[in-house]
Structure 1
């Protein structure tokens, strides 16, 4: 059976070199950097990274669909108001900005809630998942917060907002204002 000795610390690599441990028969020296390189280049890790990217794209698309459906579901109330405002001289560009401004607080709330969940859940599950054994960290595993997932979420929500406002504007383009105002009076 193989026996392992772990040397940790900033001088571990130098100590192994100075003591010529690697030249001892039956001894294989593997540095943390070497182990990490082997681990990150393995097919399992590459597959997990690909799966993570695919899931991020899928979740971003689901966020766009949810936002578009929310805007479409609430479009009827906005349509009445915009019909009245169009008779008072509201141009289509301002109508789009007004629709976007009305949905923007919902979008920001979704972004903040989703980000809070995304940052808190990994932190809560850190010790329960036992990631220290998997990563080989001598100090224990820590959650690393990066800006990329938040940037993806912001981009997806802005794209969803733009798509939703465009869909709403295009469905409203050929509306008869007189019919719209009569419906608004009811």
Structure 2
């Protein structure tokens, strides 16, 4: 890819993309990264369309194309594209989460899609606060918000980011905080109970 030029020569790169690492050490993910970092989502979509077309059995290539539709704000198209992929691969979590991304971007909910199994979706509610409390209550030291957030990621699809989680938990009197920047480095712990003697 020509670093000075925002455009990618897809016809020349298609030959190179068959191998993960090229002779010059350039890996195919670097094209994605460069296009994403420039905000060239249309270029990314074209690149991923070519890769998906050349690799129809590669579920990851197909999923990445659907993600490009989402980045291009083609949410309906993404859902239509993902639906048969999801039906054939109902346990592929990335596809589930991408469908949810597209649904929520359209102002819809998880109820607006026919799931084989409805994915676990975490919202900022008492259940999430209780999960954070249960995770932190046995810890001797405070944990970074990022650690708590990663524990939640394992549980399901999150409808919030780290900052929203922190704001939510600050309203719950069971936690103590040491706010830091970046926000992910903020420390969170369970308030210690005072022992009356």
Superposition TM-score tier, normalisation by shorter sequence: under 0.3
Query: With CA pairs under 8 Å and 6+ residues apart, which has the higher RCO, 1 or 2?
Result: 1
Q: TM-score, normalised by structure 2?
A: 0.24
Higher strand share: 2
Structure with more of its chain in helix, by fraction: 1
The normalised TM-score by structure 1 is 0.25
